[in-house]
Amino acid sequence: MSRRRFLFVLGSSRSEGNTELLARRAAEQLPADVEQEWISLADHPLPDFVDLRHDADHERPTRGEVALLLDATLAATDIVIASPLYWYSVSGHTKRYLDYWSGWLRTPGLDFKATMAGRTLWGVTALSDDEPVVADPLIGTLNNSAAYMKMRFGGVLLGNGSKPGDVLNDTEALTRAKTFFSAEAPLARFPQP
Ligand SMILES: Cc1cc2nc3c(=O)[nH]c(=O)nc-3n(C[C@H](O)[C@H](O)[C@H](O)COP(=O)(O)O)c2cc1C
């Protein structure tokens, strides 16, 4: 897989919110030969996650939203979790998508962990709080998930806003967006004790 392909997983419960606006600003800077796929989890709702990891008849999904998300995930060199900050962490839609990763890790024939190793996870989030530090749980969730998967982690682009469009007034976030995806993304590591 030499050509880069970014999958933007939109986790907001509303369309064209601050998180998506900020992610689109960052994506504008990607080179033209980088492919982009955008999937809104609100438009493609995943069913409740059921833990079938240890069931003998656990099979690769071939239809529906789960198959769509799985195929898009497998096809991406770079996965961008674009989730608003909800209760200091990722949104419910986003959490459910990540829960499915646990199922895919145990799906026969997928080799999900080996396939994802070395690929890059990024985050984009919007929050209404003025203190960016309150997003640390979201950043930790994404960093640790990337570390567990032996993926690279490009960090999280933060923007401030409450109602849709507010983030366009966060000039510092818009400046950070211009170079966000050009930064080095080292192999993710769990925090040291
Ligand atoms: C369910 C819910 C939980 C939220 N929790 C937080 C929070 O913990 N901290 C915060 O700063 N903002 C919180 N917010 C505000 C959103 O992060 C903010 O409105 C953001 O701009 C929404 O992103 P969006 O426009 O992409 O949907 C919450 C909003 C909702 C709807």
- Residue 156 covered by a domain: yes
Q: Whose CA is nearest to atom 16 of ligand 1?
A: 127
Q: What confidence score (pLDDT) does residue 56 get?
A: 75
Q: Could you tell which of 127, 133, 138 is best to mutate to test the pocket of ligand 1, judged by most ligand atoms within 8 Å of the CB? A: 127
Query: Range of 22's domain?
Result: 5-182
Does 57 score more than 90 pLDDT? no
Q: Which of 4-18, 46-60, 90-104, 170-184 has the lowest mean pLDDT?
A: 46-60
Helices and strands (H and E) in the chain: how many: 6, 5
- 30-55 pLDDT tens trace: 999 999 999 999 999 999 999 988 88
Span from the CA of 83 to the centroid of ligand 1 (angstroms):
9
Span from the CA of 12 to the centroid of ligand 1 (angstroms):
9
The domain total for the chain is 1
Q: Whose CA is nearest to atom 5 of ligand 1?
A: 86
- Beta strands, E only, the chain: 5-10, 35-40, 78-82, 120-127, 152-160
- Residue 192 covered by a domain: no
For 61, 89, 90, 118, 160, the CA distances from 170, given in Å and listed in that order, are 41, 21, 21, 32, 6
- Residue 190 covered by a domain: no
Q: What is the mean pLDDT of the chain?
A: 96
Q: Could you tell which of 85, 138, 166 is best to mutate to test the pocket of ligand 1, judged by most ligand atoms within 8 Å of the CB? A: 85
Helix (H, G, I), strand (E, B) or coil at 6: strand
Give the rounded percent of residues in the chain with a pLDDT score beyond 70.
99
Which residues fall within 8 angstroms of residue 44, CB to CB, at 6 or more apart? 65, 68, 69
Q: Whose CA is nearest to atom 30 of ligand 1?
A: 86
**Domain containing residue 115: CATH number:** 3.40.50.360
Q: Whose CA is nearest to atom 2 of ligand 1?
A: 86
Q: What confidence score (pLDDT) does residue 1 get?
A: 63
- 87-139 pLDDT tens trace: 999 999 999 999 999 999 999 899 999 999 999 999 999 999 999 999 999 99
Q: Whose CA is nearest to atom 24 of ligand 1?
A: 17
- Residue 71 covered by a domain: yes
Span from the CA of 126 to the centroid of ligand 1 (angstroms):
7
